[in-house]
Amino acid sequence: MATAKTTTLTFRIEPGLKEALRTAATREHRSIANMVEVLIREYCGRNDISIPEQDAPAATSRTTAARRTRNR
């Protein structure tokens, strides 16, 4: 299965926010990177910010994330 190209994003964050992000990701059965992507997509959707389309959409469903976790 072909996946969309991705890019790396590196940033600093307060330890408490990182722990909250880790907790949210765990509850949603997602990786931290996928949780950040979901949060950005949700924010953009609520605030009418368009996200440029890629050739293949990034996997953001819980099912896909759970499948990845089980296959590790």
Mind listing the pLDDT tens digit for each residue in 23-65? 999 999 999 999 999 999 999 999 999 999 876 555 555 555 5
Rounded to the nearest 10°, the torsion over CA 52, 54, 56, 59 is -50
Tokens of 40: 């950005």
Global confidence as pTM: 0.66
pLDDT for the residue 55: 65
Q: Is the pLDDT of residue 11 over 80?
A: yes
66 vs 55: which has the higher pLDDT: 55
User: Domain extents for the chain?
Assistant: 15-50+57-70
Nearest to 60 by CA among 23, 51, 14: 51
DSSP 8-class letter at 55: S
Nearest to 62 by CA among 34, 32, 23, 41: 34
